[in-house]
Amino acid sequence: MEDKIINEQDLENWRRTHYSHQVNGSTIDKLIIIMGWISSKRDHGNVLFIQLRDKFGDIQIVVKKGKENSENRVFDILKNLKEHSSVGIKGKVVEQKKSPNCVEVIPHEIKVLSVSAKSAPFLTNSISTIGIDTRLELRALDLRRNYLQNIFRIRFTILNSVREFLTKNHFIEVNTPKMISTATEGGAALFPIFYYDKEAFLAQSPQLYKEQLTMAFENVFEIAPIFRAEPSRTNRHLSEAISIDIEKAFVNYYDIMDLLDELISYIILRTKEVNSIELKNLDIELSEIKIPFPRHTYSELIDKLQKSHKYIRWGDDISPKILKDVIGDDFYYIVDWPLSTKPFYVKSKINSDAAVSKSDSPVDSSESENMMVSESFDLMFGPLELSSGSTRVNNKNVLLDSMKKKGLNSAAFDYHLRVFDYGIPPHAGFGLGLERLIMALLKVENIRDTTFYPRDIDRLTP
Amino acid sequence: MEDKIINEQDLENWRRTHYSHQVNGSTIDKLIIIMGWISSKRDHGNVLFIQLRDKFGDIQIVVKKGKENSENRVFDILKNLKEHSSVGIKGKVVEQKKSPNCVEVIPHEIKVLSVSAKSAPFLTNSISTIGIDTRLELRALDLRRNYLQNIFRIRFTILNSVREFLTKNHFIEVNTPKMISTATEGGAALFPIFYYDKEAFLAQSPQLYKEQLTMAFENVFEIAPIFRAEPSRTNRHLSEAISIDIEKAFVNYYDIMDLLDELISYIILRTKEVNSIELKNLDIELSEIKIPFPRHTYSELIDKLQKSHKYIRWGDDISPKILKDVIGDDFYYIVDWPLSTKPFYVKSKINSDAAVSKSDSPVDSSESENMMVSESFDLMFGPLELSSGSTRVNNKNVLLDSMKKKGLNSAAFDYHLRVFDYGIPPHAGFGLGLERLIMALLKVENIRDTTFYPRDIDRLTP
């Protein structure tokens, strides 16, 4: 019996009449068709208890070895089907106080739609005990696990709430090209492409395009993949990630931080409304957050850190590890970073005109330039960087000067610089990593479990 | 005066108090701050009429050469500013029956935020007369034109309505990797990437991933870029496009066509509701559409076409040009394509088991196999293909057999095939080209004007 081959059948005219959550007291005595995969199976010899899972949950199927041929056929098939197999069940709903939704289904007919030929390494209710790499090899199956189901349902709510919030705030969604001719941030960590007969790269961010689009649309956002040839093997880096990018005209980085505060607040509000069940399943309590989030200047933090870490100097990047010593485990900003640590398009905090005239002067001003501060922020959650934003340079001469200082070949950016001849408004914006935001909100340890099919230096499949 | 350099100023504490559409009868006598770019300028010597454009429209600014210094300063600056320059205006709202919104603004102060240093080749109200390539070189500026503003506002509505419709129909949004190890459709038209030390490709479609995801989520959709190294130079092909992909478990291609009918219908309904002004501006009347759209089988069409095109044989692809002879200029399906014309994952119309046993038989059945039909459809709009869909193979042996027939190395797809051991449900879906849908609905002649920054064989910038 164990090895008996069960033939898969075509769907033909069978269609689901009810999803699992629609099978309840109101459907008692009705003949229904349900479809799904076997999430668990208890075999009591002549009685089988099957949990059939669909996208809304489980429904209990009870089948006994019976007197009639049709009953026995269903019994034999279900007895031999492994968990994860997909079936259609035509059956009657009966009351069953002990089952979770107070009903169960007595099958009359079964259609085997897809047989699980192997014993799966995990079931839908498995808590992860095997390594993530083993799970990722069977990712589609892994995603059937309750833990990941909860995460990805919340992920959908987060995306929806971002779009709702930005639409209400007069943003328009755009899509910018992912195949580009030059590096935005200077060349490191790019994936090269063969673009017909030309060299090209995958976009690390939509930065220059979203800035340009403020010319025509003022407030734009994009939710799309970004690509970084990130050599590090960590729990918080991906080679392909989803970035929530916004850019807004006629504002500076303070306005953008206000907006980001409200966005995060709205995401949490909506997630609590929509996903109370999933949050409970994950044992996550999203507390009320207080905005504005604290804004610490970079210089203040360096001063504090120097008390315990004497080797740190103004101008250094701040490593997440040492941040723990001075900051709590919640949302906060680090603002006014040294200009030298930021890309060429980030605006200096002093007046732009002054910056240009200084660089034109024959006096060596490299010392004071190294001390220049930028109109920039990072949104952090404990040691995790979630978002980076800034006021951008919108004057062509300042931008050219900044590129020169960063050692970039401005000729390669001609396609970008040329629109700065036509009155591009002042603008500011941020990029927010979707996966990292999910990690922060849901306490997910490995960023790979916040994305469907993670990509990293070691992984290109599935 | 003409060449006098006007200094750009920092935004400082200036912020917009009103968008253009908020300046109306209710704001008369109020002191407001508006911001935007100069969309047009009429110079009557001592009086200037300026249209200041923001994301909602224009507001008229009238400034006279006056007696006070402050007035003259504003006058001199606006006199010398070219169209497209970005400014902030602090001024008073006054009644003006002749202006479009019955008010105009008398400026008291001006802040020049960004100077248009050159005379732009087009203004916001320019109807396109210059070639598209010239426009694309200054795309961000081009996008300020009214024609494109209308198109991209409707594009946003289309995206929103797709998400609304699919969410209501219990779909969840997913994101699948764009960097992949193998070609989905067999290897043509792929962009190769250097993925660390490995060879990889940009995904032509999310096909295999979205299929896999039906295992865990049943109904999934993705709206994301797809990449095709398309060698043809036409008005309807892009190298990077946005694809609306859906996949649904426990249904076949008929259900999917029903869903697509309703989706298109919903998009049109919502566009008419949200964008009546933009549709009027574009002189587009979206008529009520009747669903279901007509479904012509491939064989019927071949029969009809053979009357006028004797060289056409069953099994040939049907070129858009000759379709004009038999089909109108509206939505319709071509269904049941020869299996030989479709990718390996498309299900044959006869029972899968039969197909496998036939291929196992020693009798040469290549003739009859060449005549096999698939459970597939193309959604057309006149000669334009908008969408392709099908029931997919969900049996591993049938899939292996199909790959063999298409000459694919199944070992390269091991990462995909392996989940077929665990009960992947029957499923069907489609990919719908966003840009082509916009072309069809808005009668846009060149697909490049339905995307922000088009990519094709000749164009990698801006």
Residue A50: give its domain's CATH number: 2.40.50.140
B456 occurs within a structural domain: no
Taking alpha carbons only, the member of A174, A249, A416 closest to residue B37 is A249
CB of A35 within 8 Å of a chain B CB? The answer is: yes
**Residues B88 and B158 grouped into a single domain:** no
B113, B120, B422 member nearest A118 (Cβ): B422
**Residue A377, pLDDT score:** 98
A159, A178, A180 member nearest B173 (Cβ): A159
Distance from CA of B23 to the nearest CA of A (A): 17
Q: What is the CATH number of the domain that holds B439?
A: 3.30.930.10
Sheet-wide strand order for A384-391: A172-173, A219-227, A240-249, A427-433, A384-391, A376-381, A331-335, A295-297
Q: Do A213 and B143 touch (CB under 8 A)?
A: yes
**Residues of chain B with C-beta less than 8 angstroms from the C-beta of A11:** 250-252, 426
Residue pairs spanning A and B at CB distance below 8 A: 299
Q: In this model, does residue A138 exceed pLDDT 80? A: yes
- Average of per-residue pLDDT values in chain A: 92
Distance from CA of B461 to the nearest CA of A (A): 6
**Residues B85 and B211 grouped into a single domain:** no
The CA distance from A132 to A143, in Å, is 12
B363 occurs within a structural domain: yes
- Stated pTM of the model: 0.95
**Residues A151 and A93 grouped into a single domain:** no
With 0-12 / 13-18 / 19 or more C-beta atoms within 10 angstroms meaning exposed / middle / buried, residue A129 is exposed
**Residue A130, pLDDT score:** 85
Q: In this model, does residue A361 exceed pLDDT 70? A: no
B7, B217, B426 member nearest A11 (Cβ): B426
**Residues A219 and A366 grouped into a single domain:** yes
A55, A84, A242 member nearest B422 (Cβ): A84
Q: Do B7 and A353 touch (CB under 8 A)?
A: yes
In this structure, the number of other CB atoms found within 10 A of the CB of residue B191 comes to 21
Measured CA to CA in angstroms, residue B462 lies from A29, A209, A268, A412, B71 at distances of 64, 8, 37, 11, 40
Question: pLDDT tens, A268-308?
Answer: 999 999 999 999 999 999 988 899 999 999 999 999 999 98
**Residue A366, pLDDT score:** 60
CB of A430 within 8 Å of a chain B CB? The answer is: no
Q: What's chain A's length in residues?
A: 462
**Residues B147 and B293 grouped into a single domain:** yes
Comparing alpha-carbon positions, the chain B residue that sits nearest to A347 is B10
Question: pLDDT tens, A169-204?
Answer: 999 999 999 999 987 666 678 999 999 989 999 999
State phi, psi for A99 to the nearest 5 degrees. Answer: -80, 155
Q: Do A118 and B421 touch (CB under 8 A)?
A: yes
CB of B10 within 8 Å of a chain A CB? The answer is: yes
Q: Which two tokens stand for residue A281?
A: 């399943």
B165 occurs within a structural domain: yes
A126 occurs within a structural domain: no
Q: In this model, does residue A403 exceed pLDDT 90? A: yes
**Residues B99 and B159 grouped into a single domain:** no
**DSSP-assigned states of every residue in A254-306:** HHHHHHHHHHHHHHHHHHHHH-HHHHHHTT-------SSPPEEEHHHHHHHHH
**Residues B179 and B74 grouped into a single domain:** no
CB of A37 within 8 Å of a chain B CB? The answer is: yes
Q: Which two tokens stand for residue B87?
A: 């400014």
Three-class secondary structure of residue A380 per DSSP: strand
**Residues of chain A with C-beta less than 8 angstroms from the C-beta of B178:** 178, 225, 227, 240
What percentage of chain A carries pLDDT values higher than 70?
94
**Residue B367, pLDDT score:** 60
Q: In this model, does residue A67 exceed pLDDT 80? A: no
Three-class secondary structure of residue B102 per DSSP: coil
Any alpha helices (H) in A309-342, and if so which ranges?
Answer: 320-323
Q: Do B419 and A462 touch (CB under 8 A)?
A: yes
**Residues A65 and A161 grouped into a single domain:** no
Substitution target in A193, A222, A422 with the highest count of B β-carbons within 10 Å is A422
Q: Do A225 and B227 touch (CB under 8 A)?
A: no
Q: Are B310 and B369 in contact (CB under 8 A)?
A: no
A25 occurs within a structural domain: yes
Q: Do B149 and A216 touch (CB under 8 A)?
A: yes
A:292-321 residues touching chain B, CB 8 A cutoff: none
Q: Do A460 and B240 touch (CB under 8 A)?
A: no
The CA distance from A182 to A204, in Å, is 10
Q: In this model, does residue A23 exceed pLDDT 90? A: yes
Q: In this model, does residue A368 exceed pLDDT 90? A: no
Question: pLDDT tens, B293-343?
Answer: 999 999 999 999 999 888 999 999 998 888 877 787 899 999 999 999 999
Domain boundary among B50, B80, B114: B114
A268 occurs within a structural domain: yes
**Residues A76 and A157 grouped into a single domain:** no
The 8-class DSSP code of residue B439 comes to H
CB of A85 within 8 Å of a chain B CB? The answer is: yes
**Residues A213 and A84 grouped into a single domain:** no
Q: Do B352 and A10 touch (CB under 8 A)?
A: yes
pLDDT averaged over 10-residue windows placed end to end, chain B, 462 residues: 70 96 95 97 95 96 87 93 97 92 94 95 84 94 97 98 98 98 76 94 97 98 96 94 98 98 98 98 92 96 90 90 81 96 94 42 58 96 96 97 93 95 97 98 97 97 96
Question: Which structural domain range is residue B368 located in?
Answer: 140-450
B462 occurs within a structural domain: no
Distance from CA of A9 to the nearest CA of B (A): 8
Q: In this model, does residue A363 exceed pLDDT 50? A: no
Q: Do A250 and B140 touch (CB under 8 A)?
A: no
CB of B243 within 8 Å of a chain A CB? The answer is: no
CB of B144 within 8 Å of a chain A CB? The answer is: yes
Q: Do B239 and A209 touch (CB under 8 A)?
A: no
Distance from CA of A85 to the nearest CA of B (A): 4
B12 occurs within a structural domain: no
**Residue B354, pLDDT score:** 40
**Residues A56 and A169 grouped into a single domain:** no
CB of A25 within 8 Å of a chain B CB? The answer is: no
Q: Decide if the complex's ipTM is over 0.90.
A: yes
Comparing alpha-carbon positions, the chain A residue that sits nearest to B219 is A55
Q: Do B156 and A172 touch (CB under 8 A)?
A: yes
Longest CA pairwise span in chain A (Å): 101
**Residue B344, pLDDT score:** 95
**Residues of chain A with C-beta less than 8 angstroms from the C-beta of B357:** none
> How many CA atoms, within 13 angstroms, populate the side-chain half-sphere of residue A413?
25
The total number of structural domains that make up chain A:
2
**Residue B370, pLDDT score:** 76
**Residues A382 and A308 grouped into a single domain:** yes
**Residues of chain B with C-beta less than 8 angstroms from the C-beta of A255:** 15
Substitution target in A56, A86, A396 with the highest count of B β-carbons within 10 Å is A86
Element at A405 (helix H, strand E): helix A396-405
3-state secondary structure B403-437: HHHCCCCHHHHHHHHHHHHECCCCEEEEEEEHHHH
Q: In this model, does residue A402 exceed pLDDT 50? A: yes
Q: Are B398 and B453 in contact (CB under 8 A)?
A: no
